[in-house]
Amino acid sequence: MLAKRIIPCLDVKNGRVVKGVNFVNLIDAGDPVEVAKAYNKAGADELVFLDITATHEARGTVIEMAKRVAETVFIPFTVGGGIKSVDDFRELLLQGADKISINSSAIRNPELISDAAEKFGSQCVVVAIDAKRNIKNPPCKEQSQQASESGSNNNSSWNVYINGGRIDTGLDAIAWAKHAEALGAGEILLTSMDCDGTKAGYDIELTRAIAESVSIPVIASGGAGTPEHFRDALTYGKADAALAASLFHFREIEICDLKNYLDSEGVPVRRS
């Protein structure tokens, strides 16, 4: 049975992991390779590296990072952040990245999705969507779970934001997800801006609305705080994978314990 995936996300700047990672026995907690090895050992199914390097000159660092990760960690990994062209895709894929995530650049230039899918295959084109609710109602777990049980709340809608959440594109998140799929995206990395950082749970209603609108895998992101939140995203939310960052970095939840819990709740997970 296909396993639901658990994915730690690492922010990388100038080739270094930023926001601390609190692993024991790490020689260098800022080294993406060391962190990747530790997460591989801990049972992560995949890794996402988000490059937040500001300057174009420092782009070489993320390519070097992808190369070093591919030399030492033999699970799939995605690189995102600052990818603007098919050449950017090529460079990172040749170094061993499995998937490339694009966000603002896909909005500005939707052809990048189709060009990359045509050249390298849909399986490596991840479209990241930062979505925010238009009508302000409590987005996170309790409300959403109710919504999923009583049928979706038809009043809910979400807009797509870019530039790290600073610009409202005016695009409807569901429509954009469908369009991205039609252009050749192979996966949606869906972040709820309302829930991100709250630890109050994923936006289940959003996740489910997107997952039911497309037939490509959806990764839920933003808001995880407890094992139950993962279960809800992967069951009620119909997500194929769930992503978290600081929750794993600070070992508030161990991936191994999380997977044991999910298994006990009947969610198929890979355990080694």
Partner 1 sequence: MIAIIDYGAGNLRSVEKAFEYLGFEAKISSDPNEIMSCDKIILPGVGAFGVCMNSIRKVGLDNCILEAVDKGKPFLGICLGLQLLFDESEESPGAKGLSLFSGGNKRIAQSPGLKIPHMGWNSITYDKNCPIFSGIGDEPYVYFVHSYHIAPKDESIVSAHTTYGTEIPVAVHRKNVFATQFHPEKSGETGLAVLKNFGNL
* Residue 43 Cα to chain centre, angstroms: 17
Q: Is 128 left (phi over 0), alpha (psi -120 to 50) or beta?
A: beta
Contact of 202 with 172, CB cutoff 8 Å? no
Name the residue nearer to partner 1 (CB basis): 122 or 191.
Answer: 122
Nearest distance from residue 156's CB to partner 1, in Å? Answer: 23
Q: How many CB atoms lie within 10 A of CB 233?
A: 33
Which residue's entry shows tokens 């907690």? Answer: 29
Interacting residues with partner 1 (CB under 8 A): 1-3, 5, 40, 45, 70-72, 74-76, 93-96, 98, 120-123, 186-187, 215-217, 240-241, 270, 272
To the query of whether residue 11 is one of the catalytic residues in this protein, the response is yes
Nearest distance from residue 186's CB to partner 1, in Å? Answer: 7
How far is residue 51's CA from residue 128's CA, in Å, rounded to a whole number? 13
Name the residue nearer to partner 1 (CB basis): 46 or 196.
Answer: 46
How far is residue 191's CA from residue 174's CA, in Å, rounded to a whole number? 13
How far is residue 62's CA from residue 260's CA, in Å, rounded to a whole number? 33
Q: Which of 130, 194, 196, 232 is catalytic?
A: 130
Nearest distance from residue 45's CB to partner 1, in Å? Answer: 6
What single-letter DSSP state applies at residue 122? Answer: G
Element (H, E) at 216: none
User: Which residues are tagged catalytic?
Assistant: 11, 130
